[in-house]
Structures are given as structure tokens and as C-alpha cells.
Amino acid sequence: MADANDGDEHFSLVLFSGTDDKLTSASILVAGAAALGKRVDILLQYWALEAFQKDRVEKDHGLAPEAGAEGASLLFRAGERKGAHHWSETLRQAKDLGEVRIHACAHSMELFRLEQDDLDPLVDDVSGVASFMADAEGQMVFV
Amino acid sequence: MADANDGDEHFSLVLFSGTDDKLTSASILVAGAAALGKRVDILLQYWALEAFQKDRVEKDHGLAPEAGAEGASLLFRAGERKGAHHWSETLRQAKDLGEVRIHACAHSMELFRLEQDDLDPLVDDVSGVASFMADAEGQMVFV
Amino acid sequence: MADANDGDEHFSLVLFSGTDDKLTSASILVAGAAALGKRVDILLQYWALEAFQKDRVEKDHGLAPEAGAEGASLLFRAGERKGAHHWSETLRQAKDLGEVRIHACAHSMELFRLEQDDLDPLVDDVSGVASFMADAEGQMVFV
């Protein structure tokens, strides 16, 4: 049952972007929130939803356009050297660790003509923006 | 009069981006917040402000660069097929439905040398960041 | 000591993007929050971190790709005409004015192989996402 301070324990993420740098950044924020014991809800829209399609998660989703060639090569070498976790693995661990739920936005599903069966098992369900917003207490971040 | 829980009833959106995909996503979040009875304030900056210029609202504002040709063609076909609402129409409905106010950022107005008369009637007034921030309680999202 | 309303007095900013338009927008939000007496914490990730490298702060960091040639020329002329503040100067003033702390994300520091010595003195320290999230109360914005 929600009480006055319930918002402190909830973290809502609207995940719109589908480039690997933003997905990595978002997944680390989610893992941080889950480690703090916060309940996390993620709504996948547009290009983020596209990135969560089955068999596409592990593929190269590029970087934000501002990365440029220099940035891309830095990250590539860094990833090789450090064996950094893929964002999907970070999200999987966050789901094991805490209460993290990933919803595909019903509106974006229609736009991209997707069924839940087309999505990676990381995605829990298809959900409307209205119910996501109704449930969102406390911090909401758009990535 | 503001009380301790007033933040739960307010949704603040800094709208920076001016591509049709982000504007659509933002407008749906706003409609969701308004439907929940939340008071919504939107601050238009930079490319979002540019998109709200009179006679430009209905034009093609492109997509986030990450969309690519495949994404663009998907959305185009989807829009044709589904007769999806334009984001300006979603915002208009949200304003009819609830307490939604759209402010043009004074700083961006100066940068782009615009007067309020240059903007679509959806925009209520020109406002400084300071007053927007002073009024912002509860969730704040940057798109 | 934190009390139930402490979140109202804290503003957390995850600064991911490193283009001059987004950095300017973010710096103005920060200045607004500081002027209201809010405590501000900024976490620099990826391209924002790159922009805060010593001797790079004042350089041209470009604009969001959606700006286009027309937008870029507008802003350039406006900046010349109005003598607008650089975002680093706005942040410097916000730090003088209030309690504003800028943290370099430890994960991004590793990715880009940076040491704190490589960064502009505006940056206070290197910090993990976990401690940033643990400290974040109230509004959190991702730019």
C-alpha cells in the first residue's frame, strides 16, 4: 500500500533511445536504483523498443550521433580491453537483484507492428502509457 | 495552496528536442499526466521551440538521427495505416482535458529572435527558466 | 539531516550529452535550481565527460544533430550578437552562488581512460553511479 514516502522507493524510466551508449547509461542507473532497493519500471518506446527485439539485443546499435569516429573508437577499444558488460546483461542482473520490470509501450508496439513474441524475454509485458504514468511515483527519467 | 504532497500532482517537462518522434513521445506522456489530473507545465527550448513556430507545427520535423532509413519508413507506413494523431493534436486534447500550460523559454526566444506572435496558439506565454524551476514540484522530465 | 521534505531541496542531473546546446540548456537549469537554494549534484557521463576535459571546455562541441545548418547559423549569430554566456561560465557562477557539485562518473572515466587530472577544475571528484543514486532525492533529470 502506498504511503506518503512511497515515491522515494520508485524509479521510473522512459527509455526512448536505442543506441548502445544511452542503453548502457540507462542500464547502470537502473542497476543502481535496484541495488538501493528501489522498485523500477521501464517503459520501452520507439528506438529502445526496436533494440529489445529478439535476436537484436546483442547486435551493434551504434552510438549517439555526437560520438563521432574518435568517440566510437575509444569505446570500442575500451570495451575490448575491459570486457565491459553489455547493457542487456546489466539489466538481467538488475532484474535478479531487485524488483525491475520492463514494459513495451503499446503505442510503439503498434507503430512498429510488433507482438510481444518478437521481443527479448527481458521484456515483461506490453503496457499503455496511461498505466505506466499512473504507477509512476517519485523520480522519472527520460533517456 | 501547496501542501506537502503537492509534488505528486505536478508534472514538469523541459522540451528541448524538436523531432517528431520525441515530440510524439512527450505529448503522450503529457496526455497521460493530464488524464491523471496532474497539473502539467512544459518549457519549450531550442529545437522544440523552433517546432512550435506558427505554420511550422504540422510540417515534417524529421526523426531522431538514430532512426535511420528503416525506422523512418516503418513510422511513415504506420502513420498512414493507423491514422495516428499528430503530436500537436495530442497536446491540444491534453489542454482541453486538464491543466496543461506551454511556456516558451525566454532565453531560447532571444536566441532564435522570436516573438510570441511567431508561435502557435498552443503556446500560452513566454517564461524564464527561473520561474519554471521555482514552480516545478514533483517529477521533472527532460526530452 | 534528511527529513521527509528533503527531496524538494535536491536536484540531480545526469549529464550524458556533450553538445553545446544541451550543455547550455542543462547549465541554465542548474543555475535556476541553485538560485532557488537547491542542492545540485551533476554526474558527467560519456560525451558530457568528454566535453569537460581540461582545455576542451571552451572549444566548439557542436549541436544536437537535429539543429541542421539553419539552426546552427541562427545560434552562431545570436551568440555573437548577444554575447551569451558560455555554459561553463554559467556553471561556474552557479557554483559560486549555491551548493553545486560536479562528479565525473567512474565508469565513463574508465571507458575514456581519463584521470581526474585530465578534467577541468569545475569537476569536484570522481564518483560511482551507486553513490550518486543513493544521494539523489527529489528531481532527477537526464540530459
pLDDT digits (tens, 9 = 90+) for B77-87: 555 545 568 99
Average pLDDT for residues C62-71, to the nearest whole number?
80
From chain A, the residues in CB contact with C17 under 8 A are: 64, 66
**C84 in contact with B at a CB cutoff of 8 Å?**
yes
Q: What is the pLDDT of residue A85?
A: 82
Nearest CA among C10, C132, C128, C120 for reference residue C58: C120
Q: What is the pLDDT of residue B76?
A: 64
Locate the domains of chain B by residue range: 9-63+70-142
φ, ψ dihedrals at B23, nearest 5°: -65, -35
Topology annotation, domain A10-142: Hypothetical Protein Ychn; Chain: A, (3.40.1260)
> What is the spatial distance between Cα A132 and Cα A20, in angstroms, rounded to a whole number?
24
**A20 in contact with C at a CB cutoff of 8 Å?**
no
Phi-psi region of A138 (alpha: psi -120 to 50; beta: other; left: phi over 0): left
pTM equals 0.91
Q: What is the pLDDT of residue C1?
A: 39
**A127 in contact with B at a CB cutoff of 8 Å?**
no
* Nearest CB to B107; choose among C8, C28, C142: C28
Burial B44-73 (b: 16+ CB within 10 A, else e): bbbbbbbbbbeeebeeebbbbebbeeebee
Q: B124: burial class by Cβ within 10 Å (0-12, 13-18, 19+)?
A: middle
Cell digits of residue C77: 549569430
Under an 8 A CB cutoff, do B110 and C141 touch?
A: no
Does residue B58 surpass a pLDDT of 90? no
φ, ψ dihedrals at A107, nearest 5°: -65, -45
Query: Nearest-CA residue of chain B relative to C20?
Result: B46
Query: At A103, which amino acid appears?
Result: H
pLDDT in tens, C82-101: 556 899 999 999 999 999 99
φ, ψ dihedrals at A126, nearest 5°: -105, 135
Q: What is the pLDDT of residue C69?
A: 72
Topology annotation, domain B9-63+70-142: Hypothetical Protein Ychn; Chain: A, (3.40.1260)
Between A16 and B64, the more confident residue is A16
**A65 in contact with C at a CB cutoff of 8 Å?**
yes
> What is the spatial distance between Cα A84 and Cα A90, in angstroms, rounded to a whole number?
10
> What is the spatial distance between Cα A15 and Cα A18, in angstroms, rounded to a whole number?
8
Please state, in angstroms and as integers, the Cα–Cα distance from residue C32 to each residue in A32, A87, A141, B46, C100, following that order: 27, 33, 19, 17, 11
For cell 525491475, name the residue: A100
Name the CA dihedral angle for C25, B53, C77, B131, rounded to a multiple of 10 degrees: -40
Please state, in angstroms and as integers, the Cα–Cα distance from residue C77 to each residue in A70, B96, B112, C70, C73, following that order: 28, 38, 9, 11, 6
CATH number for the segment(s) C9-138: 3.40.1260.10
* Nearest CB to B35; choose among A62, A130, A142: A130
DSSP B86: P
* Nearest CB to C5; choose among B4, B132, B136: B4
> How far is CA B35 from its chain centroid?
16
**A133 in contact with B at a CB cutoff of 8 Å?**
yes
